[in-house]
Amino acid sequence: MSILLIALGAGVGFIIAYHTYGRWLGARVFNLAANVVCPSQRLRDDRDYVPTSKAVVFGHHFTSIAGTGPIVGPAIAVMWGWLPALLWVVFGSIFIGAVHDFGALVVSLRNNGQTVGDVAGRVLNRRVRLLFLFILFMALTVVLAIFGLVIAAVFRMYPAAIFPCLVQIPIAIVIGVLLHRKRVGLLVPSIIALGIMYLTVIYGNEGVLHTINQSMAGWPLIIWVGVLLVYSYIASVLPVWMLLQPRDYINSLQLISALALILLGLVVAAASQGPPPVPGAGAQSLEFVAPMWDFHPAEAPLIFPFLFITIACGAISGFHCLVSSGTSSKQIKNEKDAQFVGYGSMLTEGFLATLVILACCAGLGMGAELDFPREAGKSATVKLADGKILSVSRQANGYFGVTGKDQTPGVLGPEPGNQFAEQGLHYSGTVTNAAVVMTGRTAWHTRYQSWRSSNALGAKVGAFVDGAANFLRTLGLSGGVAIALMGVLVASFAATTLDTACRLQRYVIQELATTLGKFAHREKPAGGIWAVLASKHGATIFAVATAGAMAAMSKPGLEWSLKTAGTGGLILWPLFGATNQLLGGLAFLVITFWMWRRKLPVWFMIIPMIFMLILPAWALLYQLFVQAVGQDVSWWASKNWLLIFIGLATLALEIWMIVEAVRLFPKVKGVLEADAVEPVGAS
């Protein structure tokens, strides 16, 4: 019951924060007004600037900012204990993340829908604008490369998610045409789209679709990355209403309803007990199987500052400022909708991260299948609740042999009467389809043996999928459907981030090309390569090409081939956390300057700004020169030149930008920038 109270308490806390702190920010600080003409109306082009209902904008914004960040980050950070992770998610979302997203959205709304990087050039100076754009370019390149690999990896782990994710594209196009061209109401298409998407989850892995899913899951990583980047290119250059916006909206319907199902399953599990993990076993109670805190888990880095880097999107993420100022600000049609979209979306993401923590730390204990090959003779190591280490081997007769130190060799047999059941090991299946299911602390220990083992993408995503699927099983869903639904949730979140990031990178490259082209041609219109990169298609092609090249790396020491391509790209993941959080601190800097020039209160911006400038830089320096996350040595010692270059370049640009800001800060209070854009009221 305590787990249910934590979930409900966090949800109520987020609702209270929205109606108190969020409302104060909107009404008393930002002075949002319904009669202000928003950029979506004033600059309407029906391609990027499109006035849109707040429900659809919320769907686009929420699914774009969420990605896999609020799943992967909390799923690994719980190694320090569920309490530190939970506190950072709840308080970070309310006082830092939601303020950051809301502020970036308002600043962009008041500046013709321009990105935070562009606004930096006016509220600070032109040098800072260029510095910020370079930081954005590097950060978005990493995001595109990483999320392309993440989706590909999720598809390989959960093939049943492939068809349900792909079918969202034609559904989204139909919805976009109905809403924008035919002016059809939102309710009926939404219900129909949601019903179709759930049917594809239930029946999308049967018969011929199962064969197709399995075949596509076997594609090399780099093939999937190429397909996903081509899709991102198409979504980026099409009008926003045709694919990007409706796909994000219908995704939000499925994802938010899935979160509601997870919460409902948690309620049922807390009120009664979950279903048996295997036939014949006892029902499983809902309880924490993870430690409340553990400041020194095996092989883990320092909790301070790495907790605040590991959990990014669930508490604050610099990437969010790009969504707020890159796409969402161009779609809002009423300025007062900014609180719902900016502040509300981040709190929703915080609640998602809360459910992830509970799924990994409690739901996982209700049952997780031991992960090892199906062939006879293969084995896997299991750490029991009492700390004993066992080796479980698959036998030809469908049973499992169990051996271990201080443990008499035996056979893990069918339930009931299994001598290892009390230790959390259960046998299920037949000779041709046998499985071992773990429960309680045994399930937790096997998924979280050490930081290095749990830092793998499969372990992080798998812990959440298993735990959340157990909540859904309490509602009567089969294990296969529950796992497929959670796999679709993870892949869909990542896909909506990928296509939005590609569109944002297009804007950044166009701004950089225009600026550098004018500099090269002495303020005259740029030509040649600069003109190509300043165009919509040229910028987008460059964006997907650079991300694809970065993602295509193979692991150090492996010869490059189609099979090994992409295996080295995931080394970028440790870099993503630190650079992403640094971007959040720099966005706070720009927002603070915009407010300072207008004599608005800034104390609640300065505190999180300093916090988010210091901690990510500390983590980045630690990985550069002391010890990288998940490794025995630093990036410098391992001569990982790509990470070294991006890390040092990001730090250098950050320091330069901070120096510029410190020099300028005392001089600009109450002084509007020369080309300031102020709100225009409706006539």
Residue 223: inside a domain: yes
Do 68 and 495 meet the contact criterion of CB atoms below 8 Å apart?
A: no
CA dist 423 and 404 (Å) reads 14
SS3 category, 41: helix
CA dist 68 and 570 (Å) reads 14
Ranking 34-38, 427-431, 464-468 by mean pLDDT, the lowest is 427-431
Do 77 and 460 meet the contact criterion of CB atoms below 8 Å apart?
A: no
Judge if 22 and 62 occupy the same domain: yes
Judge if 309 and 290 occupy the same domain: yes
For 540-582, give the DSSP string: HHHHHHHHHHHHTPPPTTSPP-TTTTTTTGGGGHHHHHHHHHH
> Mean pLDDT highest for which of 266-280, 308-322, 407-421?
308-322
pLDDT at site 683: 41
Judge if 358 and 377 occupy the same domain: no
Q: In terms of pLDDT, which residue wins out, 395 or 466?
A: 466
Q: Take residue 581 and report the two structure tokens written for it.
A: 């959080």
Judge if 15 and 113 occupy the same domain: yes
Do 175 and 169 meet the contact criterion of CB atoms below 8 Å apart?
A: no
Tell me what the mean pLDDT of segment 281-285 comes to: 80
Residue 69: inside a domain: yes
Q: Which residue in the block uniquely carries the two structure tokens 């774009």? A: 64
Judge if 193 and 230 occupy the same domain: yes
Judge if 45 and 105 occupy the same domain: yes
- The closest of 320, 374, 376 to 344, measured between CA atoms, is 320
Q: What percent of the chain has pLDDT over 70?
A: 92
Judge if 39 and 160 occupy the same domain: yes
Residue 682, Cβ density class (10 Å: 0-12 exposed, 13-18 middle, ≥19 buried): exposed
Ranking 151-155, 275-279, 398-402, 508-512 by mean pLDDT, the lowest is 398-402
Do 115 and 325 meet the contact criterion of CB atoms below 8 Å apart?
A: yes
CA dist 500 and 251 (Å) reads 13
pLDDT at site 39: 95
State yes or no: pLDDT of 339 exceeds 60: yes
- Full residue range of the structural domain in which residue 312 is found: 2-128+147-365+486-503+573-667
State yes or no: pLDDT of 429 exceeds 80: no
What confidence tens digit (pLDDT) does each residue in 666-679 have? Answer: 999 999 887 777 76
pLDDT at site 343: 98
CA dist 488 and 151 (Å) reads 10
Torsional sign, CA 638, 643, 647, 649:
positive
Tell me what the mean pLDDT of segment 366-395 comes to: 79
Tell me what the mean pLDDT of segment 376-384 comes to: 79
pLDDT at site 95: 97
Do 469 and 482 meet the contact criterion of CB atoms below 8 Å apart?
A: yes
Judge if 323 and 375 occupy the same domain: no
pTM of structure: 0.92
In whole numbers, what is the pLDDT of the chain averaged over residues?
Answer: 88
Give the DSSP H/E element, type plus range, for residue 17. helix 2-17
Q: Give the count of alpha carbons within 13 A of 418, CB side only.
A: 27
User: 416: cis peptide before it, omega within 30°?
Assistant: yes
Judge if 392 and 355 occupy the same domain: no
Task: Indicate left, alpha or beta for 299 from its phi (over 0: left) and psi (-120 to 50: alpha).
Answer: left
pLDDT-derived band at 373, boundaries 50, 70, 90: low
Judge if 208 and 291 occupy the same domain: yes
Ranking 232-246, 299-313, 423-437, 631-645 by mean pLDDT, the lowest is 423-437
Residue 296: inside a domain: yes
∠ CA 258-264-269, nearest 5°, is 125
Do 53 and 241 meet the contact criterion of CB atoms below 8 Å apart?
A: no
Judge if 217 and 121 occupy the same domain: yes
Q: Which residues pair with 437 in a beta bridge?
A: 369, 426
Task: Indicate left, alpha or beta for 673 from its phi (over 0: left) and psi (-120 to 50: alpha).
Answer: beta
Judge if 494 and 601 occupy the same domain: yes
Q: Take residue 57 and report the two structure tokens written for it.
A: 């904008």
Residue 530: inside a domain: no
Residue 654: inside a domain: yes
**Phi and psi for 367 in degrees, rounded to 5?**
145, 125
Residue 139: inside a domain: no
Do 581 and 616 meet the contact criterion of CB atoms below 8 Å apart?
A: yes
Do 135 and 127 meet the contact criterion of CB atoms below 8 Å apart?
A: no
pLDDT-derived band at 454, boundaries 50, 70, 90: low
Residue 680: inside a domain: no
Please state the domain count of the chain: 2
Ranking 112-116, 190-194, 364-368, 517-521 by mean pLDDT, the lowest is 517-521
pLDDT at site 278: 79
The CB density around residue 182, as the number of other CB atoms within 10 Å, is 8
> Mean pLDDT highest for which of 31-40, 419-428, 509-518?
31-40
> Mean pLDDT highest for which of 466-475, 518-527, 629-638?
466-475
State yes or no: pLDDT of 410 exceeds 80: no
The DSSP output letter for 415 is S
SS3 category, 383: strand
pLDDT-derived band at 417, boundaries 50, 70, 90: low
Task: Indicate left, alpha or beta for 523 from its phi (over 0: left) and psi (-120 to 50: alpha).
Answer: left
State yes or no: pLDDT of 526 exceeds 70: no
Residue 187: inside a domain: yes
What confidence tens digit (pLDDT) does each residue in 292-307 have? Answer: 999 988 888 899 999 9
∠ CA 269-271-273, nearest 5°, is 45
What confidence tens digit (pLDDT) does each residue in 490-517 have? Answer: 988 888 889 999 999 999 999 899 888 8
